[in-house]
Amino acid sequence: MCGIVGVISQQPVNQLLYDALLLLQHRGQDAAGIVTGSGSKLYMHKARGMVRDVFRTRNMRALPGDYGIGQVRYPTAGNAESEEEAQPFYVNAPFGLVLAHNGNLINAVALKRELFTNDHRHINTESDTEVLINVLAHEIERRTHGLPLSVDDIFAAVRAVHLRLRGSYAVVALIAGHGLLAFRDPFGIRPLCFGTAGESGEVMVASESVALEGTGYKFERDIAPGEAIFVDLQGRLHSEQCAAEPQRNPCIFEYVYLARPDSALDGVSVYRARLRMGETLAQRVISVLPPSEIDVVIPIPESSRPSAMQLAHRLGRPYREGFVKNRYVGRTFIMPGQAVRKKSVRQKLNAIGQEFAGRNVLLVDDSIVRGTTSREIVQMAREAGARKVYLASAAPPVRYPNIYGIDMPTASELVAHNRSVEEIRQIIGADVLIYQDLDAMKRVIREINPEIVEFEASCFDGCYIAGTLPPDEGKNRGEGVAPNTGRLSLQGAEEQGQLS
């Protein structure tokens, strides 16, 4: 996941984009970038770091204009350390195009090769997003060739883009002097919605509804899977379904962890989904442990709170805040590198001794992925004097890699991969370990919006609806993964392109 935003206004948009990115900061902490447009001139600033660090006053002053896009990055392809891979990306032809992307392409290596051999386009970084912008640019260029750009050309280009890309992509792009384009992959894996403000048709597109609400925009609707919308500089909104067979399969992990609870994605309030997950988890707990064995239910802040609260309510046991979160430490799961993640758990969370001393505690987390948090937390609960430490996860075991925009690309790093619940329990060191049931979780979220027929839930069920990595890349995954990061790498694609 990453956070993306785009806006067309009649006023300067630099502060608006900054504010929206701050509201999306939980989706990406590694890099941030904004591009604004004034007439047909584009202005860009992007760098590694959190929003507050990347944009100083002088940078903000250098972003004039009344339309723009922004991104906060959580790298899932290429190199987290590369400043160049911060988004948005820019290509000068046709017209001047900038683009920001949330998601992950699984055929980026093949596309890079194709772009080089057939389209004579050079990709200079390891980022799949640079591939994406070049595919879009090529498809727009093919349709215009020196002629003025029409809305039909734009939608025809998006249709062609859908045919070439595999994987997940929610996209915002500016076409200099023309307007704002946004589209979502045919499965709608990553979220994207838009809202309006004022009488003059100001439009904002964002990954999550919280970015609209927090900046004074009225949520209009989600962008449908496969749909594209184009807003011209006068604020006229055009939309078209550009995929042949769209189907709504939102990523279920957004509801578990990625999104903010005060957002609604694809018609589902994330907060409500988390409360319901707490209810189904309570049923699992009751089937394993009599509630009388539990003295207190304690959430592992931040994301597990709604589920833990509802679970405690269902069990009729007290809910207590046993861990205090240092608000100046970011989300640990989306930090790059295991060493920094491990260190950050202790920096981030501290136990309140009296909530643990002599008690049987049920700790609740939203998910257990690498097990970094759980291992540390269980140990901290014991150090604080807990008699028994039970652990419940509001998500099912994460057993398979995610290749659609969550940075868990290798199975071996997942604590639940190829392990029984008992084996995981021993590794984590809990007295009892209880997981959510996948079907129950899907059912309760689907009850909130029955239009969602299926979810993208590959990290739980190993089913990859938008395709898997090609066998050679799968085989080379160890090598095809950038050193120390575990992320997919595009290295070598160009050489192969040159040879063919």
Ligand X SMILES: O=P(O)(O)OC[C@H]1O[C@H](OP(=O)(O)OP(=O)(O)O)[C@H](O)[C@@H]1O
- Angle between helix 151-164 and 128-144 (nearest 10): 140
Please report whether residue 367 would count as binding ligand X according to CB under 6 A.
yes
Please report whether residue 307 would count as binding ligand GLN according to CB under 6 A.
no
The CB-of-408 to ligand X minimum distance in angstroms stands at: 8
- Of 125 and 436, the one with the shorter C-beta distance to ligand GLN is 125
371 binds, among ligand X, Mg ion, ligand GLN, none (CB under 5 to 8 A by kind): ligand X
Q: How far is CA 386 from CA 36, 79, 90, 347, 476, in A?
A: 54, 42, 54, 21, 45
101 binds, among ligand X, Mg ion, ligand GLN, none (CB under 5 to 8 A by kind): ligand GLN
- Of 32 and 300, the one with the shorter C-beta distance to ligand GLN is 32
Among 2, 268, 368, 434, binds ligand X (CB under 6 A): 368
146: buried, middle or exposed (CB in 10 Å: 19+, 13-18, 0-12)? exposed
| Contact range with ligand X by CB under 6 A, out of 42-50, 236-244, 286-294, 371-379 | 371-379
Binding site for Mg ion (CB under 5 A): 303
Query: Within 13 Å of residue 265, how many CA atoms lie on the same side as its CB?
Result: 29
Please report whether residue 332 would count as binding ligand X according to CB under 6 A.
yes
The CB-of-320 to ligand X minimum distance in angstroms stands at: 17
The CB-of-341 to Mg ion minimum distance in angstroms stands at: 11
Among 9, 14, 36, 129, binds ligand GLN (CB under 6 A): 129
Residues 6+ apart with CB under 8 A from 309: 275, 278, 299, 319
Please report whether residue 372 would count as binding ligand X according to CB under 6 A.
yes
CA distance 304 to 393: 9
DSSP labels, 75-127: -SBS-TT-STTSS-EEE-SSS-EEEEEEEEESSHHHHHHHHHHTT-----SS-
| Three-state SS at 500 | coil
Nearest to 135 by CA among 153, 117, 111, 104: 111
Q: Which helix (H) or strand (E) holds 51?
A: helix 51-54
Among 9, 14, 29, 127, binds ligand GLN (CB under 6 A): 127
Q: How many residues bind ligand GLN (CB under 6 A)?
A: 16
| Contact range with ligand GLN by CB under 6 A, out of 72-80, 143-151, 449-457, 464-472 | 72-80
- In total, the chain counts a number of residues equal to 500
Q: How far is CA 409 from CA 314, 342, 401, in A?
A: 36, 18, 5
Please report whether residue 262 would count as binding ligand X according to CB under 6 A.
no
The CB-of-399 to Mg ion minimum distance in angstroms stands at: 19
Please report whether residue 101 would count as binding ligand GLN according to CB under 6 A.
yes
CA distance 444 to 442: 6
366 is known to lie in a ligand binding site: yes
- Of 302 and 461, the one with the shorter C-beta distance to Mg ion is 302
Question: Is-catalytic flag, 251?
Answer: no
Among 226, 322, 405, 497, binds ligand GLN (CB under 6 A): 405
77 binds, among Mg ion, ligand X, ligand GLN, none (CB under 5 to 8 A by kind): ligand GLN
Among 6, 75, 235, 429, binds ligand GLN (CB under 6 A): 75
CA distance 11 to 202: 9
- Of 178 and 190, the one with the shorter C-beta distance to ligand GLN is 190
User: Phi and psi dihedrals of 315, rounded to 5?
Assistant: -80, -15
User: Phi and psi dihedrals of 319, rounded to 5?
Assistant: -105, 125
- Of 310 and 332, the one with the shorter C-beta distance to ligand X is 332
Please report whether residue 300 would count as binding ligand X according to CB under 6 A.
yes
CA distance 241 to 186: 9
The CB-of-365 to Mg ion minimum distance in angstroms stands at: 6
The CB-of-444 to ligand GLN minimum distance in angstroms stands at: 26
- Of 102 and 489, the one with the shorter C-beta distance to ligand GLN is 102
- Of 103 and 371, the one with the shorter C-beta distance to ligand GLN is 103
Nearest to 284 by CA among 481, 438, 54: 438
Buried b (16+ CB within 10 A) or exposed e, 231-269: bbbebebebbebbeebebbbbbbbbbbbbbbebbbbebb
Which parts of this chain interact with ligand X (CB under 6 A)? 257, 300-303, 331-334, 365-374
Catalytic residues: 2
